[in-house]
Amino acid sequence: MTPQTSQRPLILTLLIAVQLVCTAFFVVDVIFDATEAGWNPVTDPEAFLEGSMVLCLATAVWVEMRFLLRLLRHNAHLERQVSLATGAFHEIVEAQFSAWGLTGSERDVAMFTLKGMTIAEIAGLRGSAEGTVKSHLNAIYRKAGVSGRGAFLSLFIEELMSDAGPETAKTPDALRYPAAETAAQDR
């Protein structure tokens, strides 16, 4: 959540609190007017108008509180969904790395590649030469059965877009050639 969106519930809560204070003030004012003057809201148009306004204000505060609670519940649900998706992606990545038999160094380079880092950035983070990173990338692409970075990334994007979880992870050939997977299932 950005700082601006994380402040929205706080701002709404403060506005509702101010409205609650105003509502309480006007309710007390209407009660004092009614007891001091002894007027009847049914026959006195001013009292009827004032009482109606207090009722409208109280209703608006109640509606805003319900809206805020719904907004907070929805926000919590979305945060849970993002957390689950992040965990699922990590599981998919780890399952695929294991299926390909990547070494520890290759796993690091592959993960940095998935994060969109360049060869130079990966080499700097790992404290190794760019040639070493290129060598690892070639091994990763060979084990994954792809020809380059774009195809490597598309394997994981395709996996996220499908309904399959890590336990039903597709092989690289099945990801590139869906007909091959269908033929294999028909056998």
92 inside domain: no
| Radius of gyration, alpha carbons of the chain | 31
Nearest to 174 by CA among 160, 155, 152, 151: 155
pLDDT in single tens digits along all 187 residues of the chain: 455 556 777 887 888 889 889 889 988 888 887 777 666 666 677 777 888 888 898 899 899 889 888 988 888 888 888 877 777 778 888 888 999 999 999 999 999 999 999 999 999 999 999 999 999 999 999 999 999 999 998 888 887 677 544 444 444 454 444 444 444 444 4
Q: Which helix (H) or strand (E) holds 13?
A: helix 3-37
CA 100 to chain centre: 30
Say if residue 54 is in the same domain as residue 118: no
Write out the two tokens for 4: 């601006």
Q: How far is CA 101 from the centre of its chain?
A: 31
Please report whether residue 130 resides in a domain: yes
Domain count, the chain: 2
Does the residue 96 lie in any domain? no
161 located within any domain: yes
In this prediction the pTM is 0.47
Within a 10 A sphere around the Cβ of 93, how many other Cβ atoms?
Answer: 19
What's the CA gap between 19 and 6, in Å, rounded? 21
Shared domain check, 40 and 8: yes
Distance CA 181, CA 184 (A): 5
Summarised one tens digit per residue, pLDDT across range 42-61 is 667 777 788 888 889 889 98
Residue with tokens 């092989």, as numbered in its chain: 171
16 and 76 both lie in a single domain: yes
9-24 pLDDT, tens digit per residue, is: 788 788 888 988 988 9
In a domain, 138, yes or no: yes
Range of the structural domain that residue 9 is part of? 3-82
